[in-house]
Structure 1
Amino acid sequence: MLVIAHYMQRGFVFAKPPGFDTDGENQLQELVQKLKESLSLTLVHFYPLAGRLVTQKKAENPSELAIYIDCNKSPGARFILASLDLTMDDILSTTYVPRILRSLFDHERSINYDGHTESLLTIQVTELIDGIFIGCSMNHMVGDGISLWHFLTSWSEIFKAEEKTSVISRPPAHDRLFPRGRHNPFLRLPLIYDHDDQVIINRDEADILPADMIREKIFHFSSETVRKLKAKVNAERNATEISSLQAVSAHLWRCITRARNFPSDRKTSFVMVANARSKSVPPVPEDYFGNYLRAAIATAGCGELLEHGLGWAAWLLHQEVINQTGYGISHEQMESWLQSAILSGSDAPDPSRLLLAGSPRFNVYGIDFGLGIPVAVRTGSADKFDGKMVVSPGVEGGGSMDFEICLLPHIMTSLESDKEFMETVS
């Protein structure tokens, strides 16, 4: 359960179109009005995002509860208009992702449980000196990254329509089906209540590390570099099925492990979050709006990871992905989880772990709000910790990838001093 995890935050940097400055106030008002109108039409399909969370205790057993979305008596999604006296370069041309970026998103310190009183979706439009930043913050209990990009793509589709319409090419599927034979929505969750029957949240658990202690940087892998890494790992394993993402991830795993300089017998792990919609039995629609992910976790000793070749690490990742997504999620597995649900984000961070979110397949640069192709895509400060990585397609396409990597400052410095690594990025 993602009760104490943070909101998902994704934002787009757009350049102001030619002539925007000559009549900027009117053009901004027109843009904002159309964004609001198209957002309202989009929320007709993605109506859970306009709701609020509600917790209901089981009458005969108060230790069991159900958390659901009230879509009928809620104040709706939030829309913010702001301005910032900075240029796009002030945000994009720094060596590391600047802290000012956090001000471009709502819900900076909110956790998902706050969705009982705060909006489940906030859109913040910030006017820069020479650009427009559109930031989206979405409660992770409502949906995963696939659902977030489904919503953003649909919003863009409605915005671009020549006539006002709520028709979209991929309507979301909202059917929240329980496992076969189970009709009870109540779960036993490890939540603690005070004397006023309010949930006690330890926000220190949600804030794994203060954002100021993390150094965050975007590393770009060109399409040529990605092809070379993929060819290398498949040649080393005499294989063809290792993917581009698995090849680049293996390269990152080895380089960051070397930068961390742990003892050779210490275990290190790489977590890849994968879509499980098509792997359930029966399959869940690909357009299902909610959370339906599985984690592929590859583990190795730091020494053996560095001693073996890149292909060995990539094959390890590939096998774990196959183990998690190559087989259906059984009724027994689902029922087992329901009987022993845990709070994601409540465990202590593992300094030898890497976690990869996002996907190079998301339609990141296809998002169009009448301002042209996004100059860049960024995430907010929420849910950042040592070892967190987010991948997205590179702006030039062709299989290129951008990795947003969060590391402790001394580890980032060590990584940037690694010649093998720096020769592969720009």
Structure 2
Amino acid sequence: MATTILEICRVPAPPGAAADLSLPLTFFDIPWLHFHPIRRLLFYDYPCSKPYFLETVAPKLKESLSLTLRHYLPLAGDLIFPLNSEKKPEIQYVAGESAVSLTIAESASDFHHLTGNHARDADQFYEFVPEIDPVTDESEYQRVPVVALKVTLFPGRGICVGFANLHCLGDASSVVGFIKAWASISKLGGDEEEFLTKHAESLPILDRSVINDPLGIDTIFWKVIRDVPLKSSSFPLPTNRVRATYILRQADIEKLKDFVLAKKPGLLQVSSFVVTASYVWTCFVKSEEQVDDDDVLEFFIFAADIRARIDPPVPASYFGNCLGYGAAKIEHKQLVGGEGFVIAAEAIADQIKNRVNNKEEVLKGAENWLSEINKMKTIRAFGVSGSPKFDLSSADFGWGRARKLEVVSIDGEKHSMSLCKSRDSEGGLEVGISLPKARMDAFAAIFEEGLRF
């Protein structure tokens, strides 16, 4: 391995941050209990020496992380999973004990290669991903940390900041909020007062009473999930995959929108997300060599932040999960046909308009979500992770905008894409894909060819 671990430490919130905290999981959190950790890497251009990194950068990151945890105490806590009990799971923070695991490392790997868009061996990225400590079995419950962090120096080239979190801790809105807060306090040299002056309105709200659950859906879900104990997470190695990034420039996106609207002039919700998701989904399905049944259904699954879309609405800075989802479905033969892209755009736009953006529908049948999630394990589905809305790459630790974001956790899913704003193309989007090499080659050719019209 080209990576050397220099230090593993535990970073607590500052003394006197708060008393003990127990945060119960809601019905939005509980379905994610057995989901793999979300793993993200941010690569930054920052050519510094190892001595400067160890003497200046690393201490500054630790100090700013501690100050950030004052406002984000759940990240220093553990998930408590009760055994043989009616008690429900919670995230527990214990003052004076709870802390976040932070690994400091150095790598001799090729920074330029890792941050390219070309197809790269997916396995190599796991050297920079933090590992969440194993599950601890107690007599009445299981315990596991909710977060792990890793910072890797590429001497003279750059820095990678790696994040791993349990999905039951919170959705992208919540976790990205933490990452940006840590980056901001770090950039401000630990000036917490200035941070609070600028970001007071976006500080996380931990109050679970803002989640309305009159049907007791959390209890319904827990009765199903409690019978399956937690398992320690592990990396999906070898992945037998490569990772590649595809850029859709603003001109490409506008061209795709115009193409859809020329065929379907009355269609609403023809957003950048809709045409990007539709285009990538159709390219992905077409890249498969052979399908036995042309009539088989293909699904596109996407999550959506519904804080403002439910009644009563949930505050934008609520920390936790607050996701609804859409599921577009189309027969395989239609999706790979000449009108496949337009049909896909219509199906996804319909899910956004009539389900995700519809206050009457967005939580309809929520008590059945667990059984629906289990069904999704057996279908032919393509998903999406991340959103340009949260713009994680803008998290600036004082080194500028991130050069590259890699959502490593899509390796552990059947098939999914990551989506974020493009660094190099104003108004453009970056799509991350993880596939076996032969299929990636086929996908790349179809993706490139499809934009020539």
TM-score (norm 1): 0.84
- Structure-to-structure mapping, 1:29-68, within 5 angstroms: 29-56=55-82, 62=84, 64-68=86-90
Query: Hey, what does 1:300 align to over in structure 2?
Result: 330
SS of match in other structure, 1:310: helix
Q: Corresponding residue for 2:187?
A: 160
Q: Does the CA-based 8 Å contact 1:79-1:124 persist in structure 2?
A: yes
In structure 2, stretches of 5+ residues that fail to align are: 1-30
Q: Which AA in structure 2 matches 1:384? A: G
Distance in 2 (CA, whole Å) between partners of 1:108 and 1:424 is 41
Match in the other structure for 2:98 = 75
Q: Judging changes above 3 Å, is the alpha-carbon distance between structure 1 residues 329 and 285 closer, same or farther for their aligned structure 2 residues?
A: farther
1:189 paired with 2:224, answer: yes
Confirm whether residue 324 of structure 1 aligns to residue 355 of structure 2.
yes
For residue 255 of structure 2, what is the aligned residue in structure 1? 228
Does residue 403 of structure 2 align to residue 380 of structure 1? no
Instruction: Among all aligned residue pairs of Structure 1 and Structure 2, give the percentage whose two residues are the same amino acid.
Output: 20
Question: Considering only aligned residues, what root-mean-square deviation do their CA atoms show, in Å?
Answer: 3.3
Aligned residue among 200, 203, 215 for 1:171: 203
Q: Which amino acid aligns with 1:55?
A: F
Q: For 1:219-256, what per-residue CA distance to the aligned partner results, in whole angstroms no more than 9, with x for missing partners?
A: 11122111211221122210453101101211122222
Residue 127 (str. 1) matches residue 153 (str. 2): yes
Say which is worse superposed, 124-133 or 211-220, in terms of deviation. Answer: 211-220
Report the Cα distance in structure 1 between the residues aligned to 2:213 and 2:103, rounded to whole angstroms.
42
Per-residue CA deviations over 1:101-154 (Å, capped at 9, x if unaligned) read 111011279799999544322221111132111111122111011111111112
Query: Quick one: which of 85, 89, 96 aligns to 2:120?
Result: 96
- The verdict on how the C-alpha distance between 1:288 and 1:368 changes in structure 2, with shifts beyond 3 A counting, is same
What displacement does 1:408 show?
3.7
Per mean C-alpha deviation after superposition, the further-off stretch among 327-336 and 173-182 is 327-336
1:381 positional shift = 4.7
Task: Confirm or deny: 8 A CA contact 1:48 1:69 kept in the other structure.
Answer: yes
Please state how far the C-alpha of 1:282 moved relative to its aligned partner: 0.5
- Do 1:124 and 1:136's aligned partners in 2 also have CA atoms closer than 8 Å? yes
Q: Is the 8 A contact 1:356 1:391 kept in 2?
A: yes
Is residue 258 of structure 2 the alignment partner of residue 238 of structure 1?
no
Post-superposition shift, 1:327? Answer: 1.7
The alpha-carbon distance between structure 1 residues 421 and 273, as it changes in their structure 2 partners (threshold 3 A), is farther
Q: Which residue of 1 aligns with 2:12?
A: none
**1:267 shift after superposition:** 1.0
Whether the 8 Å contact between 1:367 and 1:373 is mirrored in structure 2 is: yes
Q: How far, CA to CA, are the matches of 1:184 and 1:227 in structure 2?
A: 42
Secondary structure, in 3 states, of the residue corresponding to 1:403? strand
Q: Are positions 1:311 and 2:349 aligned together?
A: no
Report how far residue 48 of structure 1 moved.
0.6
User: Is contact 1:107–1:137 with CA below 8 Å preserved after alignment?
Assistant: yes
Gap change, CA 1:374 and 1:184, over 3 Å in 2: closer
Structure 2 length as normaliser, TM-score?
0.80
Q: Distance in 2 between matches of 1:133 and 1:70?
A: 29
Q: Which residue of 2 aligns with 1:269?
A: 299
Cα distance in 1 between the residues matched to 2:393 and 2:252: 20
How far did residue 293 of structure 1 move? 0.9
* Structure 1 position 56, deviation (Å): 3.5
Q: Equivalents in 2 of 1:367, 1:86: separation in Å?
A: 23
Asked if the contact 1:126–1:133 (Cα under 8 Å) also holds between the matched residues in 2, the reply is yes
Structure 1: 5+ residue stretches without partners: 194-198
CA distance in 1, matches of 2:418, 2:94: 34
Q: Are 2:393 and 2:401, in contact at CA under 8 Å, matched by a contact in 1?
A: yes
Q: 1:268 to 1:119 in 2, by over 3 A?
A: same
Structure 1 273/113 Cα, relative in aligned 2: closer, same or farther at 3 Å? farther
Determine the C-alpha separation between the residues in 2 that align with 1:297 and 1:278.
20
For the 8 Å contact 1:4–1:112, the answer to whether it is kept is: no
Distance 1:113 1:124, change over 3 A: farther
Whether the 8 Å CA contact 2:80–2:144 is kept in 1: the answer is: no
| Native 8 Å contact 1:385 1:406 kept in 2 | no
Q: Are the aligned partners of 1:3 and 1:344 in contact in 2 as well (CA < 8 Å)?
A: no
Q: CA deviation at 1:264?
A: 2.2
How far apart, in 2, do the equivalents of 1:211 and 1:144 lie? 27
User: Partners in 1 of 2:55 and 2:314 — Cα distance?
Assistant: 41
Q: How many residues align?
A: 405
1:377 counterpart SS class: strand
Deviates more, 1:119-128 or 1:231-240: 231-240
Match of 1:196?
Answer: none
Q: What residue in structure 2 maps to residue 107 of structure 1?
A: 131
Could you tell me how far 1:326 is from its partner in structure 2?
1.7
Give the number of the structure with larger relative contact order, counting CA–CA contacts within 8 Å between residues 6 or more apart: 1
The CA distance in 2 between the partners of 1:91 and 1:241, in whole Å, is 36
Paired position in structure 2 for 1:218: 245
| 1:304 positional shift | 1.7
Secondary structure at the counterpart of residue 103 of structure 1? helix
Q: Supply the distance in 2 between the matched residues of 1:346 and 1:79 (Cα, whole angstroms).
A: 37
Report the equivalent of 2:4: none
Counterparts in 2 of 1:247-258, with a 5 A limit? 247-258=275-286
Q: Structure 2 CA distance, aligned partners of 1:322 and 1:37?
A: 45
Q: CA deviation at 1:398?
A: 2.3
Alignment of 1:22-33 (within 5 A): 24-33=50-59
CA offsets per residue over residues 169-221 of structure 1, 9 Å max, x none? 4111111125354689653134447xxxxx364x8xx8897542333321111
1:208 and 1:354 map into 2 onto residues whose CA distance is 21
Q: Do the aligned partners of 2:133 and 2:145 also contact (CA within 8 Å) in 1?
A: no
